[in-house]
Amino acid sequence: MEATHVHGAGHAHGGDHAHHPKGIMRWITTTNHKDIGTMYLWFSFTMFLVGGVMALILRAELFQPGLQFVEPEFFNQMITLHGLIMVFGAIMPAFVGFANWMIPLMIGAPDMAFARMNNWSFWLLPPAGILLTASMFVPGGAAGTGWTLYPPLSIQMGIGMDMAIFAIHILGMSSIMGSINIVTTILNLRAPGMTLMRMPMFCWTWLITGYLLIAVMPVLAGAVTMLLTDRHFGTSFFNAAGGGDPVLFQHIFWFFGHPEVYIIALPAFGVVSHVIPAFARKPLFGYTSMVYAIAAIALISFIVWAHHMYVVGMPVAGQLYFMYATILIAVPTGVKVFNWVATMWRGSLTFETPMLFALGFLFLFTIGGFTGLVLSNTAVDVQLQDTYYVVAHFHYVMVAGALFSAFAAVYYWLPKWTGHMYDETLGKWHFWLSFIFFNIAFFPQHFLGLAGMPRRIPDYALQFTDFNQVSTIGAFGFGLSQLLFLYIVLKTIRSGEKAAAKPWEGATGLEWTVPSPAPYHTFEEPPVLTEAKGHA
């Protein structure tokens, strides 16, 4: 906001690098939120490439009917690892990285509330990522169950399954610590004058996401621990022969799994709520209703989990309840979309790369939301459950939703991180290549699902050939386009036009009051907000 005046901007001690180690030890021992944010982002991108290569192996095998490149058991392992790595290794750490970098800058805090724990939250990730990826190479290979790990199939798996369970435990610990840190930082370290309802929207989305994570990660940890004891210690939680129920796992898993969707989506909403106003040069429309919508989505996300299980044979009353509750989510989600559109309305729009990705998000996420509405209809879902329609749906939400928003965030904040402007022409190329290839890869999967192709199969009947070939071509195009992204980021770090403290004309918020690149230490003296409405 132009009305925000900042006193004592935090770059007074910015050049002070004297008291921390150099080289590799700097990164291992760092408690600096910017260093840790950077590490989260690089880790995330590395896992994104690993998970992406796995997706390309899947798509290569699916280019034509028959088995060509991989065996079915390896195909199943790739499915599992692609899902787990993309969700826990790529997307979640990316948004935690943004939170680490930007939340202290947005609220005028010197660092995260628990700086030492912040270091530990990050350094738990690489061992977990290695454990998960290395499970491919142990006897029997990785878990071939899909990321949902349903028993009894997961009981049959080899040691790779146990490695996945421990990886999930470690990732869960990391997420819980990260969330506690973010929640505490937001609640306690805001600059004087920044009330909750003046807080930037990204902080709001993360405050609520933090609570979601703290609530559901222990549930997942419990579910996989029960798997572990069923596998090795003779319990029968999920074994009917011992008095258990395999479907119990699905209930527990999706009680975690559905909020997880919003754990990924809410921070993405937050980013878009910054980028669209900045490039429309107009304040975010309906700030208050935005906050209520986020809270409503978060609350409802706890009571809809069994819509992932419409065909397990639950009582019809259960199916009806979960259908109504799921349909209800469309209301607050719609409010958010309408608010973004109203923000653009009568603005003064420009279309730099962050804005392009935000608009791509808006367009494709809306498609993903609508297909979600179709799937919420239990009668229709009977035909679509476990088909490629579902695969298309959640990739519109996860890739076009979360990933496009993450790209928007990187381009939007890269000048602040590196002190350089990225190459706008290449950025636009990255957007258009990603946008076009994404749709070539995933739009035909709706048709495949409608026509009856099940998901998680390495080989398919002949009538599915054409759209699978289109999809594979799109997937390879999309994958290769991401190398351009890597090149753009590296180029920006090394060279590029010097960025001003506020490189975007319409950007608002405290993060743009510190120089670019942001000094190592910022806001050691809290800024004072003298005017109302400090929010973006």
Partner 1 sequence: MGINKKTQSCLTGLALMGWSAMVRAAWEFNFQIPATKSAQTVIDLHNMMMIIIMIIFIGVFAVVSYSVFKHRKSKGHQAAQFHDNTLVEIAWTVVPLIILAAMAWPATVALLNMRDTAQADITIKATGHQWKWGYDYLKGEGEGIRFMSLKATPAEQIRGSAAKEEHYLLEVDKHVVVPVGKKIRMLTTSTDVIHSWWVPALAVKQDAIPGYVRDAWFKAEKEGIFRGQCAELCGKDHAFMPIVVEVVSAEKYSQWVGNQKKQMAAAADEGGKSYSLDELKSRGEEVYAANCAACHQANGKGLPPAFPALDGSKIATGPKEAHIALVLHGKPNTAMAAFGGQLGDGDIAAVITYERNAWGNKTGDVVQPADIKAARK
Q: Residues with catalytic annotation? A: 82, 111, 147, 174-175, 258, 260, 262, 273, 307-308, 333, 336, 455
**Cα–Cα distance between 250 and 89 in angstroms, integer?**
22
Bond prior to 517 in cis (omega within 30° of 0): yes
Q: Where are the alpha helices (DSSP H) in 85-200?
A: 92-107, 115-123, 125-134, 153-156, 159-188
Closer by beta carbon to partner 1, 155 or else 484: 155
| Interface with partner 1, residue 14, by CB under 8 A | no
State the nearest-atom distance from the C-beta of 249 to partner 1, in Å.
Answer: 10
How many whole angstroms separate alpha carbon 509 and alpha carbon 190?
13
370 binds partner 1 (CB under 8 A): yes
| Least distance from partner 1 to the Cβ atom of residue 374, Å | 5
In the complex with partner 1, which residue's Cβ is closer, 12 or 331? Answer: 331
Residues 423-452 that bind partner 1 (CB under 8 A): 447-448, 450-452
Radius of gyration of the chain measured on its C-alpha atoms: 23
Least distance from partner 1 to the Cβ atom of residue 477, Å = 20
Contact set for partner 1, span 202-261 (CB under 8 A) = 231, 239-241, 245-247
Does 524 bind partner 1 (CB under 8 A)? Our answer is no
Q: Got the DSSP string for 386-455?
A: TBHHHHHHHHHHIIIIIIHHHHHHHHHHHHHHHSB---HHHHHHHHHHHHHHHHHHHHHHHHHHHHTPBS
Residue type, 335: V
12 vs 67 by CB, closer to partner 1: 67
| The one among 44, 119, 175, 378 contacting partner 1 by CB under 8 A | 378
- Restricting to residues 263-302, name those near partner 1 by CB under 8 A: 280-289
Of 8-16, 50-58, 195-203, 371-379, the segment contacting partner 1 by CB under 8 A is: 371-379
Backbone angles phi, psi at 498, to 5 degrees: -65, 135
d(CA 404, CA 413): 14
DSSP state of 306: G
Residue 382: CB atoms within 10 Å: 11
Interface positions, 73-132, toward partner 1 (CB under 8 A): 73, 76, 79
Residue 52 CA to residue 245 CA, distance in Å, equals: 35
Does residue 424 contact residue 491 with C-beta atoms inside 8 Å?
no
> One-letter amino acid identity for 159?
I
Q: Which stretch binds partner 1 (CB under 8 A): 129-137, 169-177, 331-339, 522-530?
A: 331-339
Examine residue 454 and tell whether it contacts partner 1 (CB under 8 A).
yes
Binds partner 1 by CB under 8 A, chosen from 188, 463, 495, 530: 463
Considering only residues 53 to 72 of the shown chain, the ones binding partner 1 according to CB under 8 A are 65-68, 72
d(CA 453, CA 463): 9
Q: In the complex, what is the shortest distance from the CB of residue 362 to partner 1, in angstroms, rounded to a whole number?
A: 7
